[in-house]
């Protein structure tokens, strides 16, 4: 078995025993990237020499053998998370040439756990998109079908893990940007509870919605990665000082006696029939494993997309005001400072980023603030209350991750509304601030494309979510499938 095909826990066992070195594991990934990334374009930046130097330092120190959770494991980083000394462009021309001067909190955690920081993965510009077609540096392709999108905005991270170009990767999830590409690429993607993982060092899109989380090849690796990433950070005022359990120790308990909620609003007209069939088969499997299925309602689901695209764009319009060509990033010379701002932002931002800034600025403007932004916040509260009531009747909620499988490149670019509706099953989770995971639950027939199952939990209920996902995964074979590249 080639090293690049291993899961983290399989690789860690070999590293601990001294069967392989960190350099060998890293070189195996670099060879794989060299072989297939010309087709996928999952990576924006890769410094092979630096990655091997990190691996050599770990081999000399003995970290890989002394029990460090990620000792000697290379991990890819979405290009929206700061790593000192590495580029951080957010896939945008406005940050071309920008180099990070500090580590994000999650990157500090990776270093402390002994991980090797491998490279920067592609994404939709400033994490705004559902297909990774909005990157200024080119489109990432789905490893199962190179003519199709990998999902977004963390499409590069999802494609890298699914194609065995990374043992794990970090992404960010504002409205489904980890779970949706994980579903479309056939890997595991975890969105933690808001406040469970620090946002310090994550370039902000929508500050009340953003969360960092991992992509992995299986649920056990997701639990391990979350154990490394989670924890209180005084640099982030939204970081919650709550104990972090050993998520890996909670696996293997099964689902017998657990109540699984099935929201009627998540099985809708227009959903891909094969997606619905695969998800219902997964629910039947969980029932066979001993879970009780409970029908629930999340009645304000229909408003989620509209609410999200008011709140997220409003926050984005404020957050992206800092990119003006003054302190860092690209600058276009103007006749005066106002002219310079306009020319810099006009040349530096792509069409989707401009669209969202305009929408958000309008929603916050005088005369419209109460009618749009304030009203959206009120409906957001109703959506959160829907989940609170539902969790009084169930332990977790199970839904499709996406209403469809990966679509063809260019298929939805001319219709933003169709693109926005791709996240209809993931957006509410961010609005409510709860946790969720997507994992493989099947494939369509022709073409053969992955289908994702979404498991949602109460705030800080990551242990239960991971436990249910792991029980289903171990009872099926879907997570073992790999694309043929």
Closest CA to 230 of 401, 435, 479: 435
Residue 136 bears catalytic tag: no
**Residue in the structure block whose two tokens are 């790999």:** 482
Domains of the chain, earliest start first:
3-259 (3.90.1300.10)
- Confirm if 218 and 440 have CB atoms less than 8 A apart: no
Tokens found for residue 451: 């289908």
Binned average pLDDT, 10 residues per bin, the chain of 485 residues: 93 96 97 98 98 97 89 98 97 96 98 97 98 98 98 98 98 98 98 98 98 98 98 97 94 96 92 96 98 98 96 97 90 93 95 96 93 96 98 98 97 89 95 98 97 98 98 98 95
Give the pLDDT of residue 265.
95
Q: Is 301 exposed, middle or buried (0-12, 13-18, 19+ CB in 10 A)?
A: buried
Asked whether the beta carbons of 143 and 463 are under 8 A apart, the reply is no
Whole-number pLDDT of residue 1: 63
The single residue of 92, 131, 177, 239 carrying the catalytic annotation is 177
**CA 167, 183, 212, 414 torsion: positive or negative?**
positive
Which two structure tokens, joined as six digits, stand for 134?
Answer: 């909005």
Q: In the prediction, which pLDDT does 329 show?
A: 86
Q: Considering 28, 153, 154, 402, which one is annotated as catalytic?
A: 153
Active-site position among 78, 191, 217, 458: 78
Residue 126 token pair:
């400033």
pTM: 0.97
pLDDT confidence of residue 270? 85
Tokens 């809708």 sit at which residue?
Answer: 268
Q: What is the pLDDT of residue 46?
A: 97
Active site residue 78: yes
- Active site includes 153? yes
Predicted confidence at residue 421, as pLDDT, reads 86
């Amino acid at each position: 078995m080639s090293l690049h095909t291993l899961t983290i826990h399989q690789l860690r066992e070999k590293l601990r025993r001294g069967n392989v070195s960190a350099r060998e594991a890293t070189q195996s990934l670099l060879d794989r990237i060299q072989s297939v990334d010309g087709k996928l374009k999952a990576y924006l930046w890769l410094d092979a020499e630096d990655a091997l130097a990190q691996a050599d330092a770990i081999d000399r120190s003995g970290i890989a053998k002394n029990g460090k959770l990620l000792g000697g494991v290379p991990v890819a980083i979405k290009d929206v998370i700061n790593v000192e000394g590495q580029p951080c462009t957010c896939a945008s021309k406005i940050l071309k040439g920008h180099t990070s001067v500090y580590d994000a909190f999650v990157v500090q955690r990776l270093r402390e756990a002994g991980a090797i920081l491998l490279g920067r993965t592609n994404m939709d510009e400033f994490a705004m998109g559902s297909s990774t077609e909005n990157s200024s540096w080119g489109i990432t392709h789905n490893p199962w079908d190179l003519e199709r999108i990998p999902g977004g905005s963390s499409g590069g991270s999802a494609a890298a893990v699914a194609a065995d170009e990374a043992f794990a990767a970090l992404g960010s999830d504002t409205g489904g940007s980890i779970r949706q590409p994980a579903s479309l690429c056939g890997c595991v993607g975890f969105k933690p509870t808001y406040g469970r993982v620090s946002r310090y060092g994550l370039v902000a899109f929508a500050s009340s919605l953003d969360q960092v989380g991992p992509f992995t090849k299986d649920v056990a690796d997701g639990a391990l990665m979350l154990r490394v990433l989670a924890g209180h950070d005084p640099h982030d005022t939204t970081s919650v000082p709550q104990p972090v359990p050993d998520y890996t120790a909670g696996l293997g308990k099964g689902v017998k006696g657990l109540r699984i909620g099935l929201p009627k609003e998540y099985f809708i007209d227009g959903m891909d029939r094969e997606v619905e069939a695969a998800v219902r088969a997964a629910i039947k499997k969980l029932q066979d494993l001993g879970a009780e299925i409970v029908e629930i309602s999340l009645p304000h689901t229909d408003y989620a997309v509209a609410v999200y695209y008011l709140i997220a764009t409003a926050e984005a319009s404020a957050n992206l005001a800092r990119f003006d060509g003054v302190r860092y990033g690209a600058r276009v010379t103007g006749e005066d400072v106002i002219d310079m701002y306009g020319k810099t932002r006009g040349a530096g931002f792509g069409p989707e980023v401009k669209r969202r800034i305009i929408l958000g600025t309008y929603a916050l403007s005088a005369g419209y603030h109460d009618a749009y932004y304030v009203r959206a916040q009120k409906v957001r509260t109703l959506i959160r209350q829907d989940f609170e009531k539902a969790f009084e009747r169930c332990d977790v909620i199970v839904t499709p991750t996406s209403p469809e499988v990966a679509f063809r490149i260019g298929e939805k670019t001319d219709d933003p509304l169709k693109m926005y509706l791709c996240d209809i099953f993931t957006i509410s989770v961010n609005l409510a601030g709860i946790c969720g995971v997507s994992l493989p639950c099947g494939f369509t027939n022709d073409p053969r494309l992955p289908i994702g199952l979404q498991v949602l939990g109460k705030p800080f209920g990551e242990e239960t979510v991971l436990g249910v996902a792991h029980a289903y995964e171990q009872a099926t074979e879907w997570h073992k499938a790999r694309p043929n590249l």
